Structure 1
Amino acid sequence: MDVAARAGVSRTTASAALSGGGRIGEDTRQHVLAIAAEMGYEINRQAQNLRIQRAGAIGVYVPPDATGYEYYLAFAFGVVDEAMRRETPVVLIPNGSTEASLARDHVDGYIVIDALDDDPQLRRILATGKPVVSAEPLPDGVAAAAGTVSFDHEQGTIALLDHLAASGARRIGLISPPLNTSWARQINAAYDRWCTGHDRERLVVGAPFLADASSVERPVEELLRRSDPPDAIVVAQDGIAAAVAAAVTARGYTIGTDLLLAACVDGLPVRSSIPPITAIDLVPREHGRACADLLLSILDAATPPDGPRTITLEPRLHARASTGAP
């Protein structure tokens, strides 16, 4: 191979560098790729995939009915960012795919995000036996993921509650989704622990996991009609913090002074609300890129990893005017 000779490495090393696999140092890989680029060498991905019996694509599965939410769209774009960098197509897996249709999917592995405990599609994906990287831990009682890229949501929730307390809040309510995802369970566990440790009353009301503006009136009313209503509200679900702000304002409260408001998921409606709402930024595009990188690294490895691989990302708290921040 001319590339190997020009780079001063063995054919095996050059092949590993050009294919993206093998156990070689990153400096060596980049050196070989640079030489290949100078020589005008182009990798024939189709032939390479046929040789190693790979489909050459990865699948992404998000919770049912979640594709219209900003967080999941940004996550999917992050997956595509990394996959494109590594010349790998991405297939969006529709909800309700049968085992037979999944078996026909031309993908080598899957990325799943916010897996619901009772989602049969998740179990069908795991039953294919292909590597799965999970964005957030999978439910108990199912096959283990090959890798997990998740946030420490308990840490992020504690930081948010501490910020609200430091801003003067004494009674903090939580609008929570059902406890059928790891994410929801972590938020509630942190909230319970914080309330116990600070001798605060637990004020939790429920709303759907995928909520919308029509879902906020009941939980807001349930919190604010109390004889001792909260002076701060944390909204867990994506996409409804701005609607909660509107419902609170319609009841005569001034957000940022009369009542503090914060969200567990950042996004454009949260940032552009008046006032802007304090939120935890889960950097979904970065999360998607990290999941794609991990899955493709697992698929490219010369030998399977010894066990599941875990990456933990740090949530970022953005304090804004809804909690009195300048």
Structure 2
Amino acid sequence: MGRNGRISIREVARAAGVSTTTVSDALSGRGRLSQSTRDRVASVAADLGYTPHPNARWLRSGRTGALGLYVPESTVGLEYYMRLALGAADEAFAHGLALTLVPTWHGPTGPSLHLDGVVVSDPVRGDPMLARLAALGVPVVTCERDMTPGAQHAARAQGDHGRGARLLLDHLAEQGAQRIAVLCPGDDTSFTADIRRAHEQWCAERGVEHLVYDVPFAVTPGDVAAAVRRALSRQPSPQAVVVVPDGGVAPALQAILASGRRVPDDLLLASYVDSLALASMPVPITAVEIHPREMGHEATRLLADLVEGRSEPGQVVDVPVRLVVRQSTCVDQAVT
């Protein structure tokens, strides 16, 4: 046995009466060996309980066995991205790969990253990290489209957020709301750009005012409360409020109740991003489920297939979106 208690390739070779090169070729499928030799070596290895060293296949292939996940600093800590990261880690583990969280670095040179590829979550237009990661010379797979002009990446997983926004807006209209205020970050990500565009088109089709209030991506309770107050001070006031950023709907509900309005009797309230907490809030919140864990799975699967030679660049995978209707948008189920 080796120093760490593992059966070594030398032990297999000694027991099988062959060289270590023959063992390596037999177990890897390489070399010009008879099938009987391959079978005998495999049988001896199994009897001894031999398993290859976890780094051996990467050393032979010139790869590292590690993938990177880059999440923009402004989104770290949000539940959506934690769930996405868990999905990415699950998928990497299923492929026998390690997953490394890649931090933001500043300046032209950064750390020496030994990665076979990188998943980028919600690329932000103008983020200098996108060019730095591309310069690593490894495949980059994005979660959602990169809005940077001329950007080209190896593959992409994406949600149809234009459709998700329309599902939500149509539901609100069915509940009697036409004037719908949307609290949304700017259009530096395809996620927010698609939602804003869908809302603008939806309003134009119905001849109603396009009410959008800018808030940061990593929104604070103060940001949300200020935006809600601006929206509710408008005359005529909106009949529904949609909060796009993850984690923003709880302070929105507080601000609405503080204004003396009830949800949903006086005002409908919805979140674009669903989360585990929304179903158990004092007024359960209608939301769009955009499946972050599946997004992490799909993007990492695309990357693993690329680096392991099972697919060609250019693939795009759609992650489904689904409307989850709860009490906050159903006018006959008011909670005060």
* Same fold, TM-score > 0.5, yes or no: yes
Normalising by structure 1, we get a TM-score of 0.85
1:165 paired residue among 164, 167, 173:
173
Aligned 8 A contact 1:126 1:143 in 2: no
Aligned to 1:204: 212
Aligned 8 A contact 2:122 2:191 in 1: yes
Q: For the structure 1 residues 43 and 154, does the alpha-carbon distance in structure 2 shift closer, same or farther, using more than 3 Å as the test?
A: farther
Normalising by structure 2, we get a TM-score of 0.82
Cα offset, 1:80, TM superposition: 0.6
Aligned to 1:66: 75
Cα offset, 1:200, TM superposition: 1.7
Q: For the structure 1 residues 202 and 143, does the alpha-carbon distance in structure 2 shift closer, same or farther, using more than 3 Å as the test?
A: closer
Aligned length: 296
Aligned to 1:29: none
In the alignment, structure 1 residue 176 sits paired with structure 2 residue 179: no
In the alignment, structure 1 residue 148 sits paired with structure 2 residue 148: no
1:246 paired residue among 246, 250, 254:
254
Cα offset, 1:83, TM superposition: 1.0
Q: What letter matches 1:272 in structure 2?
A: S
For the residue of structure 1 that corresponds to 2:277, the secondary structure is: helix
Cα offset, 1:256, TM superposition: 1.3
Aligned 8 A contact 1:98 1:124 in 2: no
In the alignment, structure 1 residue 322 sits paired with structure 2 residue 331: no
> In structure 1, how many angstroms separate the alpha carbons of the residues matched to 2:192 and 2:251?
20
Aligned to 2:224: 216
Aligned to 1:134: 142
> In structure 2, how many angstroms separate the alpha carbons of the residues matched to 1:180 and 1:44?
44
CA RMSD of aligned residues (A): 2.4
> In structure 2, how many angstroms separate the alpha carbons of the residues matched to 1:154 and 1:231?
21
Cα offset, 1:43, TM superposition: 4.2
Aligned 8 A contact 1:235 1:241 in 2: yes
In the alignment, structure 1 residue 275 sits paired with structure 2 residue 311: no
Q: What letter matches 1:311 in structure 2?
A: V
Q: Which moved more, 1:151-160 or 1:265-274?
A: 265-274
Larger Rg: 2
Cα offset, 1:169, TM superposition: 0.8
2:316 paired residue among 307, 310, 314:
310
For the residue of structure 2 that corresponds to 1:295, the secondary structure is: helix
For the residue of structure 2 that corresponds to 1:95, the secondary structure is: coil
Aligned 8 A contact 2:74 2:217 in 1: no
Cα offset, 1:292, TM superposition: 1.0
Name the % identity.
Answer: 36
Aligned to 1:237: 245
Aligned 8 A contact 1:111 1:134 in 2: yes
1:92 paired residue among 87, 90, 101:
101
User: What's the CA shift string for 1:13-58, capped at 9, x where partnerless?
Assistant: x858xxxxxxxxxxxxxxxxxx9x9876634331110111001100
Q: Which runs of 4+ in 1 moved over 6 A?
A: none
Cα offset, 1:98, TM superposition: 5.1
**Which runs of 5 or more structure 1 residues have no equivalent in the other structure?**
3-10, 17-34
Cα offset, 1:223, TM superposition: 0.6
